[in-house]
Structure 1
Amino acid sequence: MTNNLERLQKVIAQSGVTSRRKAEQLILDGKVKVNGEVVTVLGTKVSNHDKVEVEGIPLEKELPVYFLMYKPRGVISSVKDDKGRKVITDLLSEEVEERVFPIGRLDYDTSGIILLTNDGDFANLLMHPRHQIDKVYVAKVKGILKKADLMQLKKGVKSEKDLLKAVDYRIVSTDKKAETTVIELTLHEGKNRHVRRMMEGLGFPVVKLKRERYGFLNLDGLKRGEYRPLTPKEVKQMYNLANQN
């Protein structure tokens, strides 16, 4: 918090407890108190002198932190899992004391770049599709794609109630003997199992999937399961990249 008045949902999001959108719902549900009084009005403003509680837990301001991780397969992109499977925060060392969460998700069987933070505003900014941040995947699929299949990727593939699209693509290699294709796909959205559902909808099941780039960020210098903090320059560049669109 600062000495200036800030909207309550923004203060909650900046604390790392949850995103701003979920903070708004917590307020509406009567789960937030300011100075001991339940607050249910969105837009309520507070200062650093006010005592804020979320679901009975006092809010403690954390300095924002930002990490880039090379997520391995077999790890859940979440902070907890009801089935007891390994989650992404299990890969962080004890030195990371902040309550970080992943920005978006990668499937259990998908590897690659994922960002973690305790900054809810930063997370929402990057996840919103209107900001059109490139997310580049490399997929190995069964089958050999034809020109018509590739064109359909940009037009969109219907899956359940979604129209799943790629904004760009590039064939990396084909193996006619094994009947497989390696294709690079650039997305702006990140719907649930987006690449897998899109390719399966065209009749090309995904064998292996990796996200290699998020904006200008890549996995250079990292092995599976490793992570590093983003530099202040990288954080600023990501903000600028999102705000360009």
Structure 2
Amino acid sequence: MSRHQGNDRKNPGSGRQGGFRKERSSRGNDKFASGQPKFFKQEAKPKSKPVAANPDEIRLNRYIANSGMCSRREADIYIQSGNVKVNGEVVTEMGYKVKPGDTVQFDGATITPEKKEYVLLNKPKNFSTSHDEEKNAPSVLDLVRNASRAKLQPVGRMDKTTTGLLLFTNDTDLIKKFTSPNQRSTKLYQVSLDRNLKFEDLEKIQGGITIDGHKVFVEEITYIDNEPKSEIGVKMKTANIKIVRKIFEQLKYNVIKLDRVMFAGLTKKNLPRGNWRFLTDQEIINLKNS
């Protein structure tokens, strides 16, 4: 055995650098065997930057809802059914985003989104929300025509003899919310009767009155302070003003005047009869959360 071999046996670390065996690569360059700690950092690959969302783009269902055609949920159904085109092409993709300059057609009609507007009117007599009562009769829309260029609609219906608060908006989701039979917002009405309301009849109303086969309940009914017993305050959740009339007509009273003095927290304060105003941002938030 050669001295060199003997030395290898005695010095197992010989022929190695730092205790690690040195190998020759096929290219003649040295490389460390597996287990070698990494002395050199590998250069990190540059990460691709996330594409920023375009603030001017808007989801197609929201675009349709903003135009006043229907709610977002209903817009999804129209989109899936192939009734919506963008730039002449049918779009059925949920989440599709409309870009500035795109032309959107809904059921063949070109639409544009509108800013949501909320207008509160203190309605006078002889203006109706329906053209069914009298043709060519004055409409409540005539009273708010100069409020906005948006296509405003009244929230609920009000006959021409009823006065008081009436909300207008182009927010179809809000209209649907407040005209739903399940809506839970409180309204307050002042009712003027042709004669004094008997106390026992007041108690009957408080206990619930059956109208057209359905039990109708009020939240509260009271005589108005410092007024004749024919002036009554009624608090209830229904948006159907006809129900308020029918409650008293069921007990053989005639309603001389019906005035809505509160609607979902909104009041007539500083709003004279026949005038309108825009809702504040806080009032809009309250309405949506009510």
TM-score tier, shorter chain, comes to 0.7 to 0.9
**1:11-68 residue CA offsets vs partner (Å, 9 max, x unmatched):** 4333223x539956x949x8943234678x9x95542246432343211000101011
Structure 2 contact 123–165 (Cα < 8 Å) conserved? yes
Match of 2:178 among 108, 122, 126: 126
Structure 2 contact 192–230 (Cα < 8 Å) conserved? yes
Structure 1 contact 144–174 (Cα < 8 Å) conserved? no
TM-score between both structures, scaled by the size of structure 2: 0.68
What's the RMSD between the two structures over aligned residues?
3.3
Is structure 2 residue 111 aligned with structure 1 residue 59? Answer: yes
Greater C-alpha Rg: 2
**1:122-164 residue CA offsets vs partner (Å, 9 max, x unmatched):** 2223333544211000001123323332232233323335433
What 5-or-longer segments of structure 1 have no aligned partner?
Answer: none
Q: How does 1:36-185 map to 2 (within 5 A)?
A: 36=88, 45-49=95-99, 51-78=103-130, 83-94=135-146, 96-172=148-224, 175=228, 181-185=230-234
TM-score between both structures, scaled by the size of structure 1: 0.79
What 5-or-longer segments of structure 2 have no aligned partner?
Answer: 1-54
Structure 1 contact 80–87 (Cα < 8 Å) conserved? no
Query: Cα distance, 1:89 vs. partner?
Result: 1.2
Task: Specify the alignment match of 1:191 in structure 2.
Answer: 240
Q: SS of the residue aligned with 1:166?
A: coil
**1:93-136 residue CA offsets vs partner (Å, 9 max, x unmatched):** 43510101011122221000011111111222333354421100
- 1 CA distance for matches of 2:72 and 2:200? 40
Q: SS of the residue aligned with 1:203?
A: coil
Task: Specify the alignment match of 2:252 in structure 1.
Answer: 203
Aligned pair count reads 231
- 2 CA distance for matches of 1:162 and 1:54? 40
More RCO (CA 8 Å, sep 6+): 1
- 1 CA distance for matches of 2:132 and 2:282? 31
Structure 1 contact 78–102 (Cα < 8 Å) conserved? no
Q: Percent identity?
A: 25
Task: Specify the alignment match of 2:85 in structure 1.
Answer: 34
